[in-house]
Amino acid sequence: MADFIPVYEPVLGGNEKKYVLDCLETGWISSLGKYVPEFEQEFSSFCSRKFGVSVANGTVALQLALMALDIREGDEVIVPDLTFVATANAVSYTGAKPVFVDSEPDTWNMDPSRIEEKITKKTKAIIPVSLFGHPCDMDPILEIAKDHELFVIEDAAEAHGSEYKGRKSGSFGDVSCFSFYGNKIITTGEGGMCVTDNEKLANEMRFLKDHGMSSEKRYWHSKVGFNFRMTNIQAAIGVAQLEQIGKFIESKRKIARQYNSLLKDVKGISLPPEMPWAKSVYWMYSILVGDDYGMSRDELAARLKAAKIDSRPFFYPMHQLPMYKSERQFPVAERLSAQGLNLPSSPMLSKEDIERICRVIAEK
Ligand SMILES: *Cc1c(COP(=O)(O)O)cnc(C)c1O
């Protein structure tokens, strides 16, 4: 019987062990130590940003960005209906209300043409999410934000290194947030970062993430701050991962090409988007299982499981979850959520693995 193929596995084949051992041997295991500023500088410059503020995970990166922009109770923040729940939850933590926008059929991301109808006097910010590694159509989003004086916070947690019109995801808007969870493009185990070009905003985020302590006067706290710090050990892994990011992205794009060529003629299967203006990093290689495929998405997932192949259904649309329940219509997000399936996407996946997976999908 063939081996089990997981949906994701981190690749830790570089200097991770060496740098972590360095932390252990020198005793710098907490959030002070050389790897934290090194990772912040290198990752922010990878995103073409001036400042990087590392944090404990991608969810608090979003929360920190929102709080530093003074978003609070009574405010509204526009987010996609189809995203990982953390995007909406981060808004809720500040007391503000997430307002959902339906997906765009071509990119699976928030539909820029449906944003303006959701803007009210209370709207303060837009959080575009680059779902599964495909960048958002940023020009219209930035234009709407400018017209209505809204902040833009990129949730690029799934899109490290992807590009919009030749510009890196993470370089748009006021601040961009990343996750380094175990299955993200690069990982620190758990971890996250906010990147920005705005020095004042970077300083406010540094202040809030470290108990709101004055940088001049120790143990003087002028606001209720937080402990959102990343450890030196996490940052050490991050520095080693960042050394390999080019290789990871290259192999993920190659894996996507192999999947595409084996699945393009399978009736009822839609391939993941890549717009002419986009470079996707295919965080998750994702397909849609259409009505004419002959079995449902869940039936296909069960078949794959029987063949020892792991997969994941798409996220539920936010408006279907109990805490965000809404009777409004989000037909595109609903269809994508019902038909979407993430296939195994580890950068180390072999051609033979991909052929085995595609055989199960094609020879039903
Ligand atoms: C992973 C993810 C997050 C949250 O990151 P964590 O590090 O798991 O907290 C936020 N938004 C999106 C779109 C994600 O995929």
Whole-number Å distance between alpha carbons of 308 and 326: 37
Cα–ligand 1 centroid distance for 63 (angstroms): 11
pLDDT at 326: 87
Render 45-74 in DSSP notation, one character per residue.
HHTT-SEEEEES-HHHHHHHHHHHTT--TT
What mean pLDDT is reported for the chain?
A: 97
Residues 35 and 235 sit within 8 Å (Cβ to Cβ): yes
Q: Is 227 exposed, middle or buried (0-12, 13-18, 19+ CB in 10 A)?
A: exposed
pLDDT at 327: 84
Residues 36 and 169 sit within 8 Å (Cβ to Cβ): no
Would you give the end-to-end CA distance of the chain in angstroms?
A: 19
Q: What is the pLDDT of residues 48-89, one digit of tens each?
A: 999 999 999 999 999 999 999 999 999 999 999 999 999 999
Q: What is the pLDDT of residues 180-239, one digit of tens each?
A: 999 999 999 999 999 999 999 999 999 999 999 998 999 999 999 999 999 999 999 999
CA nearest ligand 1 atom 10, residue: 86
Picking from 121, 78, 83, the residue whose alpha carbon sits closest to that of residue 100 is 78
CA nearest ligand 1 atom 14, residue: 157
Residues 193 and 180 sit within 8 Å (Cβ to Cβ): yes
Number of residues in the chain: 364
Q: What is the pLDDT of residues 143-169, one digit of tens each?
A: 999 999 999 999 999 999 999 999 999
Architecture, CATH, for domain 245-362: Alpha-Beta Complex (3.90)
Picking from 332, 354, 334, 351, the residue whose alpha carbon sits closest to that of residue 343 is 354
Strand partners, 221: 213
Q: What is the pLDDT of residues 110-135, one digit of tens each?
A: 999 999 999 999 999 999 999 999 99
| Residue extents of the structural domains in the chain | 16-242, 245-362
Neighbours of 19 (CB within 10 A): 23
Picking from 206, 299, 225, 232, the residue whose alpha carbon sits closest to that of residue 29 is 232
Q: What is the pLDDT of residues 257-299, one digit of tens each?
A: 999 999 999 999 999 999 999 999 999 999 999 999 999 999 9
The pTM assigned to this predicted structure is 0.97
**Using CA of residue 183, residue 185, residue 189, residue 195, what is the dihedral sign?**
negative
pLDDT at 297: 98
Using most ligand atoms within 8 A of CB, pick from 134, 158, 188, 193 the residue to mutate for ligand 1.
158
Which residues are near ligand 1 (CB < 6 Å)? Answer: 57-59, 83-84, 86-87, 129, 155, 157-158, 179, 181, 192
Which pLDDT band holds residue 363 (cuts at 50, 70, 90)? confident
Q: What is the pLDDT of residues 298-338, one digit of tens each?
A: 999 999 999 999 999 999 999 999 999 988 899 999 999 99
- What class is the 16-242 domain? alpha beta
Residue 213: both structure tokens together: 């302590």
| Radius of gyration of the CA atoms of the chain, in A | 21
- Given a cut of 80, is residue 4 above it in pLDDT? yes
pLDDT at 93: 98
Determine the atom of ligand 1 nearest the C-alpha atom of 59. 9
